[in-house]
């Protein structure tokens, strides 16, 4: 693998981690808002009528799941190499 190709791979991995951690951070923030609302009112009621927002939330959820699968795969490979 050439130096240029290796730097592109490293850049793409950094980009993947930035996007994945952003999805995780956003989901944690939204869960904090939901739990705060449940604590204040005793329940949470959410209705989203904007299809664009629903689509973006769906895509971000899929990206977060793919990121967790990617991290799990890396963890299992490292664990197997260490044993």
- Which of the pair, 49 or 76, is modelled with greater confidence? 76
pTM (two decimals): 0.63
* Domain of 27, in residue numbers: 3-82
DSSP state of 42: S
Neighbours of 66 (CB within 10 A): 14
What per-residue confidence (pLDDT) applies to 1? 62
Cα–Cα distance for residue pair 54/52, rounded to 1 Å: 5
- Which of the pair, 8 or 30, is modelled with greater confidence? 8
pLDDT in tens, 13-69: 888 888 888 878 887 887 888 888 888 888 877 777 888 877 887 887 788 888 888
Number of structural domains, the chain?
Answer: 1
């Amino acid at each position: 693998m050439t130096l240029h190709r290796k730097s592109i791979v490293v850049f793409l991995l950094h980009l993947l981690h930035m996007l994945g951690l952003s999805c995780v951070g956003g989901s944690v923030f939204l869960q904090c808002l939901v739990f705060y609302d449940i604590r204040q009112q005793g329940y949470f009621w959410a209705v989203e009528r904007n299809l664009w927002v629903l689509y973006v939330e769906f895509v971000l959820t899929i990206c977060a799941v793919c990121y967790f699968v990617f991290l799990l795969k890396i963890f299992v490979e490292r664990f197997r190499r260490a044993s």
